[in-house]
Amino acid sequence: MRNKISHVLIAALLFAGCSKNEINKTEPLILQKNITALRSDSVKGSITALAVQGTAEINASTVQQSIKGFGGANIVAWTGDLTSTQRSTAFSPTNGIGLSIVRVRVPNSSTEFSAEKATIDACKSYGGSAIASAWSAPASMKTNGSVVGGKIKTASYSAYAAHLSAFNSAVGGLAAISPTNEPDYQVNYESMELTAPEVADFVAAQGSNCGAPIMAPEPFQMNQTYINTYLSNATAKSKTSFVCGHIYGKTPYNLGNIGKPVWMTEHYTNSSISGEDWPNAMTAAKEIHDCMNAGWSAYVWWYIRRSYGPISESGNIQKLGYIMAHYARYVRPGYTKISCTSNPSTGVYVTAYKSGTKLVLVIINQNTAVTYQPFSYTGISVNGFNRYFTTSTTNLGSNSFAVSGGSFGINLSASSITTLVSY
């Protein structure tokens, strides 16, 4: 009898609050407290109720990693600089994507140092920060006398540290600097080939003299063995502020208790696919979720402006950019990730963040149908949410709704990303 009464209540609420067309418009259906899910039955043939879903449980009292931000690379020597308008598009959390990290290259020559400064300054002006990686030391400081391959001469450790420090000063200060980029990956372009102990030897000897906090060792696939070997040098570990790496061919994973914040500092999914491609953008959304769920604090795409990037070559925000905005605009530097059921329902993925009394949820729905998702929250007071949603046809659509009593539920549009920001 209780189940039958629940079905009647659900049907009544559906007919009173929305029509079939309203559900398809991605307006949120809010069901409070005692009604926790919709059944899969049809209601009088005119509305198809949605499948029962598990509750996404949020506990704001359980704090996890602090968020550094979400960003992308700007390498002036290789792609040219962003324009003033493109910088605003990339970094503004109000009118743009809201990227809060710009990653740049440390040039081999000091004559190129100032080229990166304008975009670094722009990112900082919107509350972001800059990080830098060195693809190679100057050729004169390397064992093979070339900027391709080779190693840093031990006798040049001090000179190389001074080179990195001079770049940091020239651009007005970095949040972190990496003395290497993918040192475990052999290529035929600007690079160095260094073992984990060799990177550790340099940082142990000169990590305090590089001008900015050290992020390292930046392997190609966030290789745990490489990272653990690097960190086994106690002096290098003490001089390393952030562990960083890339995830080419690697699914994000928890590195365990390494005692350092983890930053994902470079990846792109497919350079042959446009940043406007919706399935590829949704793949990136899940990848960002996985990085955050793995306990990492930063996610940095490869080029900011590229055919496959968040901004097109003509400077327009692409679907990938709108996906990134769902994180970057609303989860700002210094927010903390909090406990949340990461995969409460088939095809639904959730991460939760807070800053003071503000709660932010980022929700991915991979399902090809509208999906009802219930939530519960503890450890924080919420009156309602501003809701932002992006689908294959909508970019950052918005509306708002009130909540009370520690639980609510919403309809998630098919194949969508949604961000809820409490008010």
Distance of alpha carbon 375 from alpha carbon 339, whole angstroms: 13
Distance of alpha carbon 28 from alpha carbon 22, whole angstroms: 9
Write a three-state SS string for 161-183.
HHHHHHHHHHCCCCCEEECCCCC
- Spell out the residues 6+ positions from residue 143 whose beta carbon is closer than 8 angstroms to its own: 150, 151, 152, 153
Phi, psi dihedrals of residue 5, rounded to the nearest 5°: -65, -40
* Per-residue CA distances from 206 to 97, 184, 227, 239 (Å): 37, 20, 19, 9
Tokens of 411: 């309809």
* Catalytic one of 116, 182, 190, 193: 182
* Catalytic one of 116, 190, 193, 266: 266
| Strand bridging mode 101-105 / 262-266 | unpaired
Q: Indicate if 182 belongs to the active site.
A: yes
Distance of alpha carbon 11 from alpha carbon 324, whole angstroms: 37
Tokens of 156: 């040049």
**3-state class of 312 per DSSP?**
coil
Nearest to 50 by CA among 387, 373, 386, 393: 373
N-terminal to C-terminal alpha carbon distance within the chain: 38
* Per-residue CA distances from 398 to 28, 150, 390, 393, 401 (Å): 10, 52, 9, 14, 10
Name the residues annotated as catalytic: 182, 266
